[in-house]
Amino acid sequence: MNPSHFRDLVSGRRRGVGASLLRTVLRAGSVPYGWAVRRRNRQFDRGAREVARPEVPVISIGNLTVGGTGKTPLVEWFARQLRSRGVRVTILSRGYRAGADGRNDEALELELSLPDVPHLQNADRAASAQVAVEELAAQMLLLDDGFQHRQLARDFDVALLDASEPFGFDRLLPAGTLREPVSGLRRAQAVILSRADMLSEPQRSAIRRRVEKLAPDALWGEVQHRAAALLDADGGRTPLAKLAGQRVVAFCGIGNPAGFRHTLAALGCEVAELREFPDHHDYPRADVDALATWAQESGAQRILCTRKDLVKLRTPALGGVPLAAVAIEIDWLSGQNELKAAIDRLAEDALQNDVLADWAEDAEELGA
């Protein structure tokens, strides 16, 4: 079942006796999952589980739902903000479905967009944090997809809500897309609605009111994802204007294809077909050959994918049809100034602590 079919099922959009029975089974499956998640959160809330505290500040960026909230562009934004303030930042992630080289698609994608920011992937992120501080001299850690990773203490917790399903259909996995109950938002210092341009102002306000009841002190932000350029396998960029009037086909292997569909609809080209693959799809040779045949037979002038897909394929064309990823950037609709002010405070702490550490080390060497 591809991601869209799964969401059609759990949202109730898919009708019929079979779909109803399957939803019943999935809801039964969500009961033990919910029990385990709530028990784990209670243990952390009560201090019954150990939490590692790194020597430097930590910003965590994550989400309540599984896959596809548009998190990577926000991680990039935070990393660039910190670098612009002179902070040495390292990104930590779990490395889900990493390849033989120890990196997954997200690592390859971030390496392409942030070549001056180290990225460590390890399921034991406390160990990664220690490496980042001791070996890479990191002054700040950026925890990617860390909202549920509570073993590592953080100084600023950011939770993303995707406009297409902000509260995961109000059901836990596998009956919905929630990783944990919505009440988990109370831990957040900032809540950001991604792809907010998909919703009307009243709809966005309704989401904000619900969030404020759960996390009244959290900063609120809204962003939209803007297609910035076409990116080829060698890192070259082509203006989006080149797509005007072209017939294209597209594919993606991401958690929530609705966001990519929304992006494609605004490109000014004719999208003949979109094929979906599971999140973090590896694209074995059989899939690459099938995509090449499909592209040839479609009569398309170009084939489009996400940057997450392109970094795994690393080819300029499929079936003789030029391949390009749609590079995405975020535009702030609200909350940018408040988030920047919070980053300023965290950056100041990181830089000040580092200065004090250097001074103490120098003083010790001089015998002070």
Delimit the domains of the chain by residue range.
3-45, 58-225+331-359, 227-329
At how many degrees (to 10) do helices 71-84 and 105-113 cross?
40
Task: Collect contacts of 319-324 with beta carbons under 8 A, ≥24 apart.
Answer: 319/291, 319/292, 319/293, 319/294, 319/295, 320/292, 320/295, 320/296, 321/249, 321/295, 321/296, 322/232, 323/232, 323/233, 324/230, 324/231, 324/232, 324/238
Whole-number pLDDT of residue 144: 93
CA distance 221 to 267: 25
CB 38 within 8 A of CB 181: yes
Tell me the chain's radius of gyration from C-alpha atoms.
22
- Does the fold of domain 227-329 match that of domain 58-225+331-359? yes
Whole-number pLDDT of residue 68: 75
Question: Which fold, 58-225+331-359?
Answer: Rossmann fold (3.40.50)
Residue ranges in the chain whose pLDDT is less than 70: 96-104, 354-368
Using the Cα atoms of residue 198, residue 195, residue 304 and residue 257 in order, give the sign of their dihedral.
Answer: negative
CB 3 within 8 A of CB 260: no
Task: Read off φ and ψ for residue 108, nearest 5 degrees.
Answer: -65, -40
Whole-number pLDDT of residue 354: 65
Distances (CA, A) of 280 to 63, 83, 308: 17, 28, 8
Whole-number pLDDT of residue 195: 94
Whole-number pLDDT of residue 355: 47
Distances (CA, A) of 321 to 62, 140, 296, 307: 36, 43, 7, 17
3-state secondary structure of 355: helix
Residue 47, phi-psi category: left (phi > 0), alpha (psi -120 to 50), beta (remainder):
left
Class of domain 227-329: alpha beta
CA distance 106 to 319: 26
Helix residue ranges per DSSP H, the chain: 3-11, 17-45, 71-84, 105-113, 125-135, 201-214, 257-265, 285-298, 307-313, 336-365
